[in-house]
Structure formats: structure tokens, C-alpha cells
Structure 1
Amino acid sequence: MNTAWKKIKLGDLLTIKHGWAFKGEYFCSEGELILLTPGNFHEEGGFKIQIGKEKFYSGAFPKEYLLKKDDLIIAMTEQGAGLLGSPAIVPQNDRFLHNQRLGLLQIDHQKAITKYIYYLFFTKEVRNSIFSTATGTKVRHTAPKRIYNIEINLPPLETQTRIANILSAYDDLIENNLRRIKLLEEMAELTYREWFANFKIGGKPLEIDKNTGLPLGWERRSLTLLGEFLNGYAFKPEDWEESGFPIIKIKELKGGISNDTPRNNGSKIPSKFIVKSGDILFSWSASLEVVVWQGETGLLNQHLFKVTPFSKIPKSLLFLALKDSLNIFNNLSTGATMKHIKRKELDFVEIPIPQQDILNQFDNVISPIIKQTLNLSHQNRLLKESRDILLPRLMSGKIGV
């Protein structure tokens, strides 16, 4: 470490402001102002929009709790494993509310820059210190005074800026790829609805059979006639290991593989439960979701279907048909504490199926789009791995900028 770096406590660099206790009677499902929660943080760090799950607020509140763009906040409560101390930077002005359980970091900019402190809260040293001093049994939480006592080695402002710029370059590329993936996914979904709901190809309406309500030569088939729905392996806690293939659960389906993902060497698991990049996964319990798996090879846990299309049914069609049917499945789901669908619901949901030449034509349009999203996701994994290797070394001064 360079001698220009100085040992200092976080309390000498910043103060932490608690959020406001917003009143429950003004929570609503839509609106202009989003009430931030620990659910708006990625576990390792970073801001997360929860599409369809955001809390909105319609009541009066002190204006000092309306966050500004580039405000730095941290999760003061461990709502999920590894979340305690996770940092996030607010992405826009006058949109997000500073809720309780979140801390707003007010930094002395003569000593430190915001983006450097942001990445500091990614490091294991800081996060482990926060966790080790946290209180609570079921839900752990921290307090400003505990964070103030954490000691760090702080470089000069110029070095902080250069470190932050290097790490930000990786994050900017990752974010740009995520935006491209979202646009490609929207393009594929719009194309599916145009062909299979509006019955238009290339903007031209197809001739409709008055008896079936479908284009001439089309038919309706249940999902079970389009592919195999394999439920995952019933892993037990004693099957969880520290090395081997990641066990893909609902959590991994939504957030990808993390350090907390359990693993298994796969030696006693039938090969049919192996999941590879490009496989269709369908969560039928708790949170109904459909994805094309974009992570590393893993093992399928129960409560997830691996969906394999039958011969002559394009994977692209089956994937988009399932995504388009999620609203139907949500309406068919049962269960008081944990919503789920039963296998028989797969027979209930029917999909319009055209002649083989139209299926092939559709696949020729959509498969390259899905392939591109997989390539971008692969790029992001490599970028993230590189950033995660660099981050602790840069932040500790083990390598120069």
C-alpha cells in the first residue's frame, strides 16, 4: 500500500441519516413517488428497480426525504441474505423516497468522493465489519455509530477518483448491455403478440377462419402438447456443498448465481436435471416467472420446470408463449401462503399454432434475438468477474491505478 494512504475511521468521512417512517395508509400500487426498501438493492451492491413490485406513496411527507440523483444510500437491515450494508446510488431526481431502514450517506467531499465510498461498501472488509457488529436474531440490522467505527485505508482524492473511474467503466458497460437486453426482449415479445395474438405477419392481417377464430390452417394446442415440463430435483440441506455445480432455485432464477448459492458435485443427480445456458426455466411456485437461463451450467431444484420443446416446436415460440401466458397462470394460481400452479393448468392454457413453415419463419426472426441476449449476458458475466477481481485489489492499494 502506498504511504500516501491513511488509516481513518468512516465516522471521520461521513454521517448517516436515517429515513422517515412513511405511513402505511398512504402506500399504493401505483403513483409518481416510489418508496425505497432494502428490496431495491442488489445483494452485492447497486440500485435495483422492482418492476411490478414497487411501493408507491401518496401522502404528505417532509421534503428532505425526497432523494436526489447521485445520493448514496445503504441498506441498514438485512431483508435478504448478504444485503446488510449494500450500497446504491439513486438514479434520478425527485422520484424516490428515503424510507426507514435505509441510510443516506452524507460525505465530507474534502476527504472522499461519493463513487469511491460507494465501491468501498462493496468490499468484504467493510461488509464483514458491518455484519459482525449487527444486532438482531431473525433480521439483523446495523446503526450509524457501528459503521462510524469501521477503520479503512483511504487514498488521496486523485487516487480515489481514478479507482472509481476504472470500476465505473465496467459498471457502465454492464448497464448498457442490460439496456440492450431489455430492448431485445421487448422486441421479441412484441413480435410474438403481433403474430400470435393480432394474427399479423409483417403488418399484414391473416385470413381468419370464422369457425375457429384463428387464421386458416391454425389450431390450438395445450402447453403439454408443445414440450416436456420437468420438475426439479428435491435437494435437501444435506445435499448443499461448497463446490460443484450451482443449485438453481427461484432465487437464482431471479438474481443469478451468487456467493450464497449452494452447490453440489452432481455425481448422484440424474443428468436430466442439468441446466445449461439457453434452457427454458419456468418457476411455478411463489413467483411465477419464465426465463431463458443465461448463467453457468447448474442443477435444477424443485419448484422449477425445465421446459424442453417437442420436435418441430421452436424453443423461441415455446418460451414466448409461456411468457405471454403468465397473467393466465397468475389467475389460476392457488395457495394461501405460497402461490403456485398445478401441472393440470398446463393442459388448460392453449396456444395458437400455425403451419410448420410459419413456425420456421417465426423462429428465424426470434432465435437470433434470443442468441444476442445470451451473448450480451455472457459479456456481462465476464465484465462482472473482471470488476470483482479488480475491486478488492484497487480498494486495498495492492495494485496501482
Structure 2
Amino acid sequence: MGEVLKVEGGFAFKSKDFEEHGYPVIRISNIDGATVNVENTAKIPPEKLGKAEKFRILSDNILIAMSGATTGKLGIVPDLSGYRAYLNQRVGRFSLKGNAAIDRKYLWFFLKSAICQQQIKILAEGAAQPNVSGSELRLIRVLCKRSRIQTHQETASCLERNKYPIELMSYWMNSLERIHSQRIFWANQDCSNNSANA
């Protein structure tokens, strides 16, 4: 994923700085799995923004919950015309790299797919609370092989109409098997290294 996307985490705003009026600060609770609620949010006054300006979000940004029970939950930022809103810590933002050859709508369907969510779940395991970092998310493989899919736009259109191409589903399932194989391999490697260092 790191070849076509940037994954950026949010700013560590201090809760004591939140006030009744100000710019919306998007937290995990504002992501509902489809969109992002920019109305019922914590607010940060302009004078307390500090270094947070670079964490401003834009319309159509895709956001992800990066910790807690809902790790992997996604939402698309709605039209922010006339708004300024900012990204809180533990919320990530996906953005396409300049020359990335991937359709945004296809990316959304891929991120929502069981195959991607399973990868996120695997990455988030291992701690008392599920947690995934931006660097870990960049390890996820975006499935967009042209030999199986004519164009991202056509695939996204099919998915939007709930017509799942057999080739696409087969490709995703085969990739899931590879992910599990890789997980077993690295788990065995860790066990071998721990034994050697004992």
C-alpha cells in the first residue's frame, strides 16, 4: 500500500484545550463506517491550533480508526466547504501519492473489503488493545492486478452495483491465503530467533 498511498496519523490534541466553539476535531467516535460526522465533535479554538495546521483534513479524505475495538473502521469526509476540521491522534488519513495509478472509489471498496479488514485485524493483534500504526498499514498489499481487472473504474462500478466479478473474488481469496502463510512464516521466524537468543 505504501507504493500508492500515504497513511498519516493525527495530532495529539490536549482535551483541556477543547472548547464549546472552534474548529472540529475528528476522533474515532466521529467515524461511522461510511462517513465522518463533522458536526458533533470536540472543538479546538483557532488560537490553540499550534502545530496542528498540517493535520487539517479535506473533503473526500478517507479516514481510519487506528486503535480500540473498532480498529479498521472507515469513513469518508463529507463536503467541508466553509469548514476547517482537524485530525486527532489514533485516527489515520489515507491520501494518494502524486502519480498513484489507482482509482479512489476502487480504493474505498478495497479498504472496506473483508480481505483488507482481515489484514488490518492481523496487524492490530498482539497488544492488550487492538492497535495499528501508519507504517503497518503501509504494508498492506493493494489488490489491483490488471491481468485480472480491466480497470479500477469498471471494478468499482461492479462492486457498487453488488455484482462481484468471480475473477476479483478469486484473486482476493488467494491473496488472503498468502497473507496467512506469511503470518505463520514470520511467527515461526520469531520463535526461532527467540530460541536462538535464549
Same fold, judged at TM 0.5 (above): yes
2:150 pairs with 1:161? no
Residue by residue over 1:214-267, the C-alpha shift from the partner in whole angstroms, topping out at 9 and shown as x without a partner, is xxxxxxxxxxxxxxxxxxxxxxxxxxxxxxxxxxxxxxxxxxxxxxxxxxxxxx
| SS of equivalent to 1:131 | helix
Distance in 2 of aligned mates of 1:153 and 1:35 = 32
Residue by residue over 1:126-173, the C-alpha shift from the partner in whole angstroms, topping out at 9 and shown as x without a partner, is 111111121421x211012222222342144972123334555x6xxx
Distance in 1 of aligned mates of 2:104 and 2:132 = 21
Report the TM-score when normalising by structure 2: 0.69
Distance in 2 of aligned mates of 1:98 and 1:158 = 35
Amino acid at match of 2:14: K
Q: Check whether the contact 1:107–1:113 (CA below 8 A) recurs between aligned residues.
A: no
Q: Which has more radius of gyration?
A: 1
Q: 1:87 to 1:65 in 2, by over 3 A?
A: same
2:42 pairs with 1:17? no
2:165 pairs with 1:397? no
Q: 1:105 maps to what in 2?
A: 94
Segments of structure 2 that go 5 or more residues without pairing to the other structure are 171-198
2:132 pairs with 1:132? no
Q: 2:73 maps to what in 1?
A: 86
Q: 1:73 maps to what in 2?
A: 63
Q: 2:85 maps to what in 1?
A: 96
Distance in 1 of aligned mates of 2:165 and 2:59 = 26
Q: 2:182 maps to what in 1?
A: none
Q: 1:151 to 1:39 in 2, by over 3 A?
A: same
Amino acid at match of 1:121: L
Match of 2:21 among 28, 31, 54: 31
Segments of structure 1 that go 5 or more residues without pairing to the other structure are 1-9, 171-386
Quick check: which one's strand share is greater?
1
Q: Check whether the contact 1:32–1:95 (CA below 8 A) recurs between aligned residues.
A: no
| SS of equivalent to 2:75 | strand
Residue by residue over 1:299-354, the C-alpha shift from the partner in whole angstroms, topping out at 9 and shown as x without a partner, is xxxxxxxxxxxxxxxxxxxxxxxxxxxxxxxxxxxxxxxxxxxxxxxxxxxxxxxx
Report the TM-score when normalising by structure 1: 0.36
Q: 2:173 maps to what in 1?
A: none
Q: 1:66 to 1:151 in 2, by over 3 A?
A: closer
Q: How does 1:2-401 map to 2 (within 5 A)?
A: 10-28=1-19, 30-42=20-32, 45-49=33-37, 53-58=40-45, 59-61=48-50, 62-78=52-68, 80=69, 83-93=70-80, 94-108=83-97, 109-134=99-124, 135-137=126-128, 139-156=129-146, 159-167=151-159, 387=162, 390=163, 393-394=164-165, 397-398=168-169
Distance in 2 of aligned mates of 1:141 and 1:396 = 32
Identity %: 19
RMSD: 2.7
Q: Check whether the contact 1:33–1:97 (CA below 8 A) recurs between aligned residues.
A: yes
Q: Check whether the contact 1:18–1:103 (CA below 8 A) recurs between aligned residues.
A: yes
Distance in 2 of aligned mates of 1:34 and 1:167 = 32
Instruction: State the shift of 1:113 in Å.
Output: 2.2
Distance in 2 of aligned mates of 1:395 and 1:146 = 29
Q: Check whether the contact 1:133–1:142 (CA below 8 A) recurs between aligned residues.
A: yes
Distance in 1 of aligned mates of 2:122 and 2:114 = 12
Q: Which has the higher contact order (CA 8 A, sep 6+)?
A: 2
Amino acid at match of 2:18: F
Q: Check whether the contact 1:84–1:127 (CA below 8 A) recurs between aligned residues.
A: no
